[in-house]
Amino acid sequence: MKFPELLNRIHDLSLEQPEIYSVENRNMLNHETEVEYYLEREVALRQAEQVWSTVPEDEKDCYEVSVHLGELDETPRFIVLKKLFKAYKKIYVSAAYADQWIAERKLALLAAGETETEAAKQAKKQLLQQYAIQPVVAYGMFAGYDYAPLDK
């Protein structure tokens, strides 16, 4: 929903301090950004995944899709508190998800006859072909970043 719709929905539902999520689709060539707002985290994340899936592969360098958790101030305006999803060139996944994905892929490669060293190398290479890893940070917008694809 657009911002005016969000304000009406919050008013209609009599929500005092709702959790609000924005999905931003930014054209990195001119920084024009389409923003939609949601009241449910999973819905916002699914929408961001869907938006990213519609960007043609040869245009992924030109767009950034992100989901932010935020709140309204008294103005009202949306204040971003935390980034929950980022896709620019690739989808950024949490370090924990990356480690799990690599471990699972490594086991599959070992079962297929690869050596321990080659399986580990190939598993990481395959992850990085599909995802980027968001390092763990202690503060700021990426603190506690825990994104893992909803449909694995």
Residues of the chain with pLDDT below 50 are none
pLDDT reported for residue 151: 73
pLDDT reported for residue 101: 96
Q: Are 90 and 133 in contact (CB under 8 A)?
A: no
Half-sphere exposure of 119 (CA within 13 A, CB side): 16
Report pLDDT digits (tens) over 133-147: 999 999 999 999 999
pLDDT reported for residue 115: 93
| C-alpha distances out from residue 137 to 12, 36, 99, 101, 145, Å | 38, 27, 16, 20, 8
Query: Torsion angle of alpha carbons 135, 141, 144, 150, nearest 10°?
Result: -90
pLDDT reported for residue 152: 54
How many angstroms separate the CA atoms of 25 and 93, rounded?
Answer: 18
